[in-house]
Amino acid sequence: MSMKYVKPEIISLKNHVQYNEKWLQARIEEDPSIIGLGELELRGSEKIHRGAGRLDAILFSPDENRRYEVEIQLGKTDESHVIRTLEYWDLERKKNPQYEHCAVIIAEDITSRFLNVISLFNGYIPLIAIQVKAVKIGENISLFFTKVLDEMRLDLLEEDIKAEQTDRNYWEKKVEKNSLIILDNIYSELSDIIGDFKLKYNKHYIGLEQNDITYNFIYFNLNKKNVIMNIRLDKTDEIDAMLESTDLDVLNYDKRYMRYRVRIRETGLKSNLELIKKITKTAKNERFA
């Protein structure tokens, strides 16, 4: 059965009574994934910053422990929104230094002049520009988001970031018991490789230490139900192929911290243990090379 071609009609949200900025913001808050930055969670809306106005939305990536400060503008971008977006990003990162932060501006028309201006900041300030189009098809309306400017992340070793140390009890209160059981199983199964290191419980991740010195060639992010194993290795076709050949839940490679990220479940650990051991040993060898 062939589909019938229907010519879409682009709607100006700026000039529409019903489909306006509030409507657009509500759609993003209902499903943050529509903007194309992954599976995000809404953490705040219309947040008031004294002397700076209202931040439209704060979105959060639990996999990356990262917040996105989102500013929405209908029509063409202008200089005031650039300044406002960067100001919100700066205020939030200073108030919540435990997260990574990224400024995001969403507009209907991102002009070449605007791109030229904000490209000067890119590489120094994590900034993403997304163009949104509202399209009417028949009696329905849809939204299309296009990333027109991606961020450039500066290299930074996570070991160089001062981590606030906690203890096992802190994590027992923070996550479900099963997450810690999985972590303990990983540590036990890898004992022939990392047995000389102790688990180091920090506020936002669990790493490794030896003689009070941090050695995070691998470390772990724990959510309520998940354990994400971070393996610090350069991205190579060989490792990519090994991971793709498994049933492991492999997340996007983090170029900033040069790490592979794998979500570990109990079944995945057992069935892929030899591979996990191999890449862990490789990461350790490179750390001490």
pLDDT for residue 154: 42
Residues 25 and 119 in one domain: yes
Tokens of 164: 């606030």
In which region does residue 258 sit, left (phi positive, over 0), alpha (psi from -120 to 50) or beta (all else)? left
Last residue of a domain, one of 129, 149, 169: 149
* Cβ-Cβ contacts under 8 Å for 241 (sequence gap 6 or more): none
pLDDT for residue 163: 66
Residues 260 and 162 in one domain: yes
Domain count, the chain: 2
- Give me the domain span that covers residue 185: 158-287
pLDDT for residue 123: 58
* 110 domain residue, yes or no: yes
Residues 25 and 131 in one domain: yes
Cα–Cα dist 278/179, whole Å: 23
Q: Please say if the pLDDT value at position 247 is more than 60.
A: yes
Digit-coded pLDDT (tens) for 142-200: 999 999 888 754 444 444 445 688 999 999 998 888 899 999 999 999 999 999 999 99
Residues 92 and 143 in one domain: yes
Residues 119 and 228 in one domain: no
Cα–Cα dist 82/103, whole Å: 10
Last residue of a domain, one of 92, 122, 149: 149
* 2 domain residue, yes or no: no
Digit-coded pLDDT (tens) for 53-75: 788 899 999 877 889 999 998 98
What is the arithmetic mean of pLDDT over 127-147?
A: 90
Residues 163 and 271 in one domain: yes
Model-level pTM?
0.55
Residues 93 and 117 in one domain: yes
* 258 domain residue, yes or no: yes
Residues 139 and 240 in one domain: no
